[in-house]
């Protein structure tokens, strides 16, 4: 049978990496399983200005690189695999992936969340062809063109500001008549000559033959629908969607207690199953930021060690 790890962490974003750092540093046999690449949502962030102690001009990728290096230095093992099935009851947890099966005394779920789509016709078909969920990834494709940002929270407005470095004009489309972003972020946006606002509006449809060519926007107060077409010389425009996230927790439905898809834990990151913890954006909580994700991961790792010492080593 395969090796039994002290801790297996699912996800290599800030929460998973923090858990890996703390667990490995405590000399626990630690495995981090990631299905794609390290970083989670933070790697799409151009600037991380609110993470305590971050260096000037720190970016999401640079922050993650340092976390990965720390986890490796402390001895955390990392494997690329997609977990398809979990058996979480009992003293030994079993995780079944596409590439192998893993056993663990404790499991920390740090699967994060994915961008929430608008859900309108044409969005799925034109994703990556004008529809984007990552300013850092795709801004350069719209150099000196027009782009639209859907959303009104911190991320939407911050990404809108970032996009002004590339686009000639950025229009923020928000379903309400005022932004939800922090006041300091709003002030920067309102002071930026490249940013305009479309209030009380939602995107109803995105059109195009292979690339975005137009979209229909509805005013929620008047009911009026307007079709916005790409500039003839440009031929297309960008639609950047930042309206929240959907937790990546389908694997745990019927196994862990969920609240609107988010994993329910106590303040010590404990789920309803002994020896199983959750950390980061997949967890039900009031604030989803890199600083709270890393805190969750640290707490989960410490509690995993405590569980092993007090429950399994009696």
Residue 59: the pLDDT is 81
201-214 mean pLDDT:
97
- Split at pLDDT 50, 70, 90, the class of 214 is very high
Residue 289: the pLDDT is 85
- Split at pLDDT 50, 70, 90, the class of 314 is low
**Intrachain domains 4-115+245-312 and 131-241 with the same fold:** yes
Residue 46: the pLDDT is 67
Residue 168: the pLDDT is 97
Q: Report domain extents, the chain.
A: 4-115+245-312, 131-241
Superfamily of structural domain 4-115+245-312 = FAD/NAD(P)-binding domain (3.50.50.60)
* pLDDT tens figures, 73-114: 999 999 999 999 999 999 999 999 999 999 999 999 999 998
Residue 221: the pLDDT is 96
Confidence check: pLDDT of 276 > 80: yes
Topology of the domain comprising 131-241: FAD/NAD(P)-binding domain (3.50.50)
CA-to-CA dists, residue 226 to 127, 203, 215, 277, 308, angstroms: 21, 10, 8, 48, 60
In terms of pTM, does the model score above 0.85? no
Confidence check: pLDDT of 208 > 70: yes
Residues carrying an active site annotation:
134, 137-138
236 phi, psi to nearest 5 deg: -160, 175
Residue 1: the pLDDT is 47
Confidence check: pLDDT of 260 > 50: yes
* pLDDT tens figures, 146-185: 999 999 999 999 999 999 999 999 999 999 999 999 999 9
């Amino acid at each position: 049978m395969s090796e039994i790890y002290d801790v297996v962490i699912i996800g290599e974003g800030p929460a998973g990496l923090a858990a890996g750092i703390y667990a490995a540093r405590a000399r626990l046999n630690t495995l981090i399983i990631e299905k794609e690449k390290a970083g989670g949502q933070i790697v799409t962030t151009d600037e991380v200005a609110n993470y305590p102690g971050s260096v000037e001009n720190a970016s999401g990728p640079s922050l993650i690189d340092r976390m990965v290096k720390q986890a490796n230095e402390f001895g955390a093992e990392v494997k690329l695999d997609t977990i398809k099935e979990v058996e979480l009851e009992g003293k030994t947890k079993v995780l079944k992936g596409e590439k192998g099966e893993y056993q663990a005394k404790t499991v920390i779920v740090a699967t994060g969340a994915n961008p929430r789509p608008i859900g309108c016709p044409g969005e799925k078909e034109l994703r990556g062809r004008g529809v984007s969920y990552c300013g850092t990834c795709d801004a350069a494709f719209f150099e000196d063109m027009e782009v639209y940002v859907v959303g009104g929270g911190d991320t939407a407005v911050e990404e809108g500001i970032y996009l002004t470095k590339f686009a000639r004009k950025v229009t923020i489309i928000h379903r309400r008549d005022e932004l939800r972003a922090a006041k300091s972020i709003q002030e920067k946006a309102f002071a930026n000559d490249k940013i305009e606002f479309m209030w009380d509006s939602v995107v109803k449809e995105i059109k195009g033959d292979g690339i975005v060519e137009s979209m229909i926007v509805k005013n929620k107060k008047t009911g009026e629908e307007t079709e916005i077409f790409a500039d003839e010389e440009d031929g297309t425009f960008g639609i950047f969607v930042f309206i929240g996230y959907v937790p990546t927790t389908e694997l745990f439905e019927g196994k862990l207690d969920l609240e609107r898809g988010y994993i329910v834990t106590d303040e010590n990151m404990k789920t309803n199953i002994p020896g199983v913890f959750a950390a980061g954006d997949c967890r039900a909580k009031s604030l989803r930021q890199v600083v709270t994700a890393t805190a969750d991961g640290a707490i989960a790792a410490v509690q995993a060690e405590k569980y092993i010492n007090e429950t399994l080593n009696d």
